[in-house]
Amino acid sequence: MTSSFLLLTFAICKLIIAVGLNVGPSELLRIGAIDVDGHFTVHPSDLASVSSDFGMLKSPEEPLAVLHPSSAEDVARLVRTAYGSATAFPVSARGHGHSINGQAAAGRNGVVVEMNHGVTGTPKPLVRPDEMYVDVWGGELWVDVLKKTLEHGLAPKSWTDYLYLTVGGTLSNAGISGQAFHHGPQISNVLELDVVTVGKGEVMRCSEEENTRLFHGVLGGLGQFGIITRARISLEPAPQRVRWIRVLYSSFKVFTEDQEYLISMHGQLKFDYVEGFVIVDEGLVNNWRSSFFSPRNPVKISSVSSNGSVLYCLEITKNYHDSDSEIVDQEVEILMKKLNFIPTSVFTTDLQYVDFLDRVHKAELKLRSKNLWEVPHPWLNLFVPKSRISDFDKGVFKGILGNKTSGPILIYPMNKDKWDERSSAVTPDEEVFYLVALLRSALTDGEETQKLEYLKDQNRRILEFCEQAKINVKQYLPHHATQEEWVAHFGDKWDRFRSLKAEFDPRHILATGQRIFQNPS
């Protein structure tokens, strides 16, 4: 009774504000009138919690209301109302809010659908061991998908480095990590989706066989064509343990030759994960993903002379079952013989599969304990064509970055033939391309080179350098300011992207935080 009264009071306050903002009161009344099994909230703490994201780069912007759905039908009811209103209003699905540039926001006149937080009644992951797949709610965290599938000795094949991201959120981008060279991104490992679209106003099932255009469009579709409420993810038998190895290089050429060699291997004898990162002068101090180089590994990074220059670290793993612990030693030895790293620089550890996959969460906990997690993150993720990666190294790693990075810089190659060209995800036009991820954190009371404005300016200079040097990079987790830039981003895929939008979200109400199309009409 008390909570309903509070809700009503807040709703009236919001109504008054909304009228001031030129939003028709009928829209708000309609929201109130939508009969959902979950619930709408306008509580200030709920509005505040969806008004910012991991990037913390934009001023928080509170939506009109938040929907905590408990079924796909709840989402469909909201979407139908938003679309059918005289003044259509924005609706954005929010996964875990781990975007950088407000991509999951709905704006002051919109409603955010909290796909993950505090959802009750949404379907739990359903594993089908006989068919080797799991059906999951779109707002499920990958870490929970992993826990559930491991109960059956199974696991998804393709991952992100961090598991506290939602299925719908990563599938709207691509979902990549060191397994992508072999299994493709997460979007290449989806069998079926349920999607709430606007154009059809209903939950649509789509797959390779059914509603194919929508299926491929939604994968990597930046939330533009519908809200993913269920995904069917392909599984494999889960390994039990992981041999995790890091080796160093002082030559970028040798480093990338080895990485490219490793991702060309697809037989039984191959590493299961290939990544890498760049270490500039400050060494590993600022690299929150470097706990690996712990006191248990006695070789000091400083003992590997780099003459004050840049070092490159290759990171590889071999998965195995407990019963294969002897074979894994031999396999790793054979594979390592083909590589040309600095011989004294081998760092090895061995751990459970789940601990390897969940490794970044441990870094998160450490940073949180030092109040260094909830800080602005001016991240820049780029796909760089293989033919220009050495120019990028010279211009950026050895040039623009100077000797301070303010966070990890990942670099690893992927094979384009593992990406389905029919998806909406955009990659460079070459058979092999690299992810370069500049994962920096800004500090208000740090040195000049750690400040937000400095890092943002550096990002701008990196993009400018690529443009001037004609390195055809594509942004991953893209953020563009104008439609002209979006058209260039999508290239050949733009016409199809635009026509999917016209078919499935004709009034432009979905995922407006991506700022690709004009706001609702």
Single-letter residue type at 418: K
> Within 13 Å of residue 201, how many CA atoms lie on the same side as its CB?
7
Query: Closest approach of Cβ 177 to ligand FAD, in Å?
Result: 5
In the annotation, is 192 catalytic? no
Q: Which is nearer to ligand FAD, 138 or 217 (CB)?
A: 138
Query: Closest approach of Cβ 360 to ligand FAD, in Å?
Result: 6
Set 161, 258, 393, 505: catalytic member:
161
Question: What is the phi/psi pair of residue 262, to 5°?
Answer: -65, -35
Q: Tell me 398's DSSP state.
A: I
In the annotation, is 161 catalytic? yes
Q: Tell me 201's DSSP state.
A: -
Query: Closest approach of Cβ 368 to ligand FAD, in Å?
Result: 12
Q: Which is nearer to ligand FAD, 153 or 506 (CB)?
A: 506
Q: Which is nearer to ligand FAD, 165 or 473 (CB)?
A: 165
Cβ atoms < 10 Å from Cβ of 128 = 13
Tell me which H or E stretch contains 223.
none
Set 140, 275, 331, 505: catalytic member:
275
Query: Closest approach of Cβ 231 to ligand FAD, in Å?
Result: 8
> What gap in Å lies between CA 9 and CA 420, rounded to an integer?
50
In the annotation, is 202 catalytic? no
Query: Closest approach of Cβ 174 to ligand FAD, in Å?
Result: 6
Query: Closest approach of Cβ 480 to ligand FAD, in Å?
Result: 13
Counting beta carbons within 10 angstroms of the beta carbon of residue 453, is it exposed (0 to 12), middle (13 to 18) or buried (19 or more)?
A: exposed
Strand partners, 41: 66
Strand partners, 126: 135
Query: Closest approach of Cβ 303 to ligand FAD, in Å?
Result: 30
Q: Which is nearer to ligand FAD, 194 or 258 (CB)?
A: 194
Q: Which is nearer to ligand FAD, 81 or 92 (CB)?
A: 92
Burial 233-244 (b: 16+ CB within 10 A, else e): bbbeebbbbbbb
> Within 13 Å of residue 351, how many CA atoms lie on the same side as its CB?
13
Strand partners, 385: 433
Q: Which is nearer to ligand FAD, 103 or 234 (CB)?
A: 103
Query: Closest approach of Cβ 74 to ligand FAD, in Å?
Result: 13
Q: Which is nearer to ligand FAD, 11 or 165 (CB)?
A: 165
- Residue 196's closest CA among 247, 230, 172, 220? 230
β-strands 65-68, 111-114 pairing: parallel
Tell me which H or E stretch contains 33.
helix 25-33
> What gap in Å lies between CA 50 and CA 104, rounded to an integer?
9
Tell me which H or E stretch contains 468.
helix 452-468
Q: Which is nearer to ligand FAD, 176 or 301 (CB)?
A: 176
Contact 366, 291 (CB under 8 A): yes
C-alpha to C-alpha distances, 500 to 19, 211, 214, 464, nearest whole angstrom: 33, 12, 8, 31
Set 53, 62, 68, 98: catalytic member:
98
Contact 489, 474 (CB under 8 A): yes
- State the residues that interact with ligand FAD by CB under 6 A: 54, 92-99, 103-104, 115, 138, 160-162, 165-166, 168-170, 172-177, 222-223, 227-228, 477, 511, 513-514
Cβ atoms < 10 Å from Cβ of 492 = 9
**Residues taking part in catalysis:** 98, 161, 275
